[in-house]
Structure 1
Amino acid sequence: MTAGTNAAGRAQIGARTLRTDRWWLQPALTVAALVAFIIYSTIRAFANTAYYAPPYISPFYSPCLTTNCVPGAGDVNLVGDWWQLSPALIILIFPLGFRLTCYYYRKAYYRGFWASPPACAVAEPHGKYTGESRFPLVLNNIHRYFFYAGLVFNVILTYDVVLGFRDAQGNWGHAGLGTLVLLLNAAFLWVYSLSCHSCRHLIGGRLTHFSRHPLRYRMWTWLSKLNAQHMRYAWISLFWVAFTDFYVMLVASNTISDLRFF
């Protein structure tokens, strides 16, 4: 299939586009934001330090599955002693896999990083088009399974919020700014997950008659409204999960003190 400026049916003009606005600004901002997140999350994942400030734990390190976790950060230890690197390198596989295969993020990085195409009414520079039928893009087809894994992690992060209503000694009935930060992080991740295209299809897909499934239809209608704002929730949750890790890092490293509400 011919693509790019030589695509069949494209107006025979020499320029890639006749647009006079700053069409390049959005893909450029997308690249800048995603690169910034990649750099930050990579540094924090390999740091393997300052991720637990009782009772708060960074979402990058929750649940802490290895035996080399900071004491109190996790008692699961599913991985065992053989893994001596940062536990975040195991955990981040699943949320990052969910985002990398997300329908919105695919559109974002296709346009931003690969210019395929960079913007509406702007011809892409590639000479051919193979879609997502070849490696590695064919792996995007497992998005739904990453969605299921993401729901599990959402439950775990929600449990972390519950644990955030303790003080450093483990006494219940306390809350601080960190509790609020973790609460918002879990809420944004839930909204992002529920607004996902796969979630919408899971609830309302493969139905011939909505009238025979009124409950699923109502849920599908509600999820469709969320789905319309999926891009917004994707960016808000991405920013906030990084901010949550940053806040826990500041508290854990004694750079700041957690503000206690009660």
Structure 2
Amino acid sequence: MRDAPGRAAISARHLRVDRWWLAPGATALGLFAFVVYSTWRAFSNSDYYAAPYVSPFYSPCLADNCETMKGGPNWELFGSWWGLSPALIILIFPLGFRLTCYYYRKAYYRGFWASPPACAVAEPHRKYTGEKRFPLILQNIHRYFFYAALLVAVVLSYDTLLGFRNAEYEWGHMGLGTVVFLVNIVLIWLYTISCHSCRHIIGGRLRHFSKHPVRYRMWGFVGKLNERHMSLAWASLVSVAVADFYVYLLATGAFDDPRFF
């Protein structure tokens, strides 16, 4: 900090001469673009199903006011009284997982709140309370959103499996949409299991790794993925938007899904 005890008498707020603002600026722009797109798609309540694909924003369906996917994960838990978009029910879980994610915290703290804007650049706020007070203390429920994210990933995996059907629900087919969904679910799983909470659950409390060789190897694997958590966070964010947009294009009749076999 500029006024820290013992600091040299330098008037400048920082000594960085590079374009340090590019990274937080690009981060804010990218996250803002996704928020705008996902909000539009979540509230649109249309064009989210094109047999045999269903948008990851709308799966699983927990209300009875969504289009039916034969054999898909449709659980009408909310009944007919839910009149809004069914995406608003399910998106709270992946959104909560990403919002409380350790990497995303850093991303939007820096990008939107300038807390701090970059390394060696002082933040403009006078006080720092960390995550000890409301609402940021709610970030500590990240581990519970991790469990919910696992369930969502399982459902999306099943949706991807159903993509190996044609529009008449016959098995043994594969289209471009199948590839899009395969890439998306792989990235979602890699992002999910590279989470810090997953790493801690697997091996964070072990006192003697030698007594738990299997969990140690799993912990090491997740640790290697964790090194790429930032890249996986962005890649999976883009892939889920691409998967949704692909279904939107099919549902609006922009083109037909190219089938490979």
Alignment of structure 1 residues 139-158 onto 2, 5 Å: 139-158=138-157
**Alpha-carbon distance in 2 for matches of 1:78, 1:45:** 19
1:54-73 deviations in Å (ceiling 9; x for gaps): 00000000011111101336
1:173 equivalent to 2:172? Answer: yes
Aligned to 2:100: 101
1:13 equivalent to 2:10? Answer: yes
1:207 equivalent to 2:199? Answer: no
**Alpha-carbon distance in 2 for matches of 1:243, 1:208:** 43
Q: What is the deviation of 1:79?
A: 1.0
Regions of 4+ moved over 6 Å: none
**Alpha-carbon distance in 1 for matches of 2:4, 2:25:** 25
Aligned to 2:122: 123
Q: What is the deviation of 1:178?
A: 0.5
User: Residue 81 of structure 2: SS of its match in structure 1?
Assistant: coil
**Alpha-carbon distance in 1 for matches of 2:166, 2:218:** 38
Amino acid at match of 1:156: V
Match of 1:59 among 50, 56, 61: 56
Comparing 143-152 with 6-15, which one deviates more in the overlay?
Answer: 6-15
**Alpha-carbon distance in 2 for matches of 1:9, 1:232:** 38
TM-score (structure 2 length as normaliser): 0.96
Q: 1:11 to 1:39 in 2, by over 3 A?
A: farther
CA RMSD of aligned residues (A): 1.2
**Alpha-carbon distance in 2 for matches of 1:126, 1:7:** 14
Contact 2:73 2:155 in 1 (8 A): no
Alignment of structure 1 residues 18-33 onto 2, 5 Å: 18-33=15-30
Alignment of structure 1 residues 35-114 onto 2, 5 Å: 35-72=32-69, 75-114=74-113
TM-score (structure 1 length as normaliser): 0.96
Q: What is the deviation of 1:13?
A: 2.2
Q: 1:202 to 1:124 in 2, by over 3 A?
A: same
**Alpha-carbon distance in 1 for matches of 2:10, 2:28:** 28
Q: What is the deviation of 1:9?
A: 5.2
Q: Percent identity?
A: 66
1:34 equivalent to 2:8? Answer: no
